[in-house]
Amino acid sequence: MRSIWRTLTPSLRRDALAMAGAIAVVGLSFGAIAVGSGLDWWMPSALSVLVFAGGSQFMVVGVVAAGGGLVAAVAGALLLNARHLPFGMALGDIMGRGRLARAVGSHLLIDESVAFALSQRNDPKRARAVFWFLGTLAFTVWNIGTVVGAAAGQFIGDTDAFGLDAAFPAALLALVLPSLKVPRTRNAALLGAVVALATTPFLPAGVPVLLALVGLAVLIPTPKKTEVPA
């Protein structure tokens, strides 16, 4: 861990620590919402350790709280997490070449660790360092936050009254805001958001998120026309 710390630049360390702080707050909100929705205190902690995917965990809690069955909750979570397949392909060898490294790295692969790693893709050593640093730190603070939130959720009546349900989308928005300064990226995000919002009332949870990937079509370079000499 010390060599990883030395590999990171001061600004990268600061940003990763700030993101870890936000993840801890979201984990706290997840634990409180899960218990407030009727789950036993140990269930959110088990999800955080075994699943470690904020969006999927919130979806499972939402489906169960709405009266849905376990099969529907798991199916929706798996569908939502399908976005991790291209994430894993994009990271390539950043997680490592050994089976153990890839197995552990796959578990630590979340939106935030992927975003930080890809931002350093021109420096593979630094990309690997920030992926493992943020992934490990995020896993730790997420689980601590879940335990604290679950304990607090037993005493909080209406978690929505405290705005805890907004913590997760707010953290993701903070993550993508800097990249929206680029016009093509902003247009891709807007197209994806429009598609997701338009299809949400008609499709099962998780499907609109996947359909939003059509926004990436904006980033596909247009082939240049070659002039044929007369």
Quickly state the pLDDT bin for 142 (edges 50, 70, 90).
very high
Structure tokens at 126: 């630094």
User: Does the predicted TM-score (pTM) go above 0.75?
Assistant: no
- Confidence (pLDDT) at 172: 60
Predicted pLDDT at 148: 92
Confidence of residue 121 (pLDDT cuts 50, 70, 90): confident
**pLDDT higher than 60, residue 165:** no
* Torsion sign over Cα 81, 82, 83, 84: positive
Task: Please compute the mean of the pLDDT values over residues 181-194 and round it to a whole number.
Answer: 80
Q: What would the pLDDT profile of 56-88 be if each residue is shown by its tens digit?
A: 888 788 777 767 677 777 777 777 777 777 777
For 13, how many CA atoms within 13 A lie in the half-sphere containing its CB?
Answer: 10
Predicted pLDDT of residue 174: 62
Please compute Rg for the chain using Cα positions: 19
Query: Is residue 1 scored above 90 in pLDDT?
Result: no
pLDDT(141) > 90: yes
Q: What's the distance, CA 166 to chain centroid?
A: 15
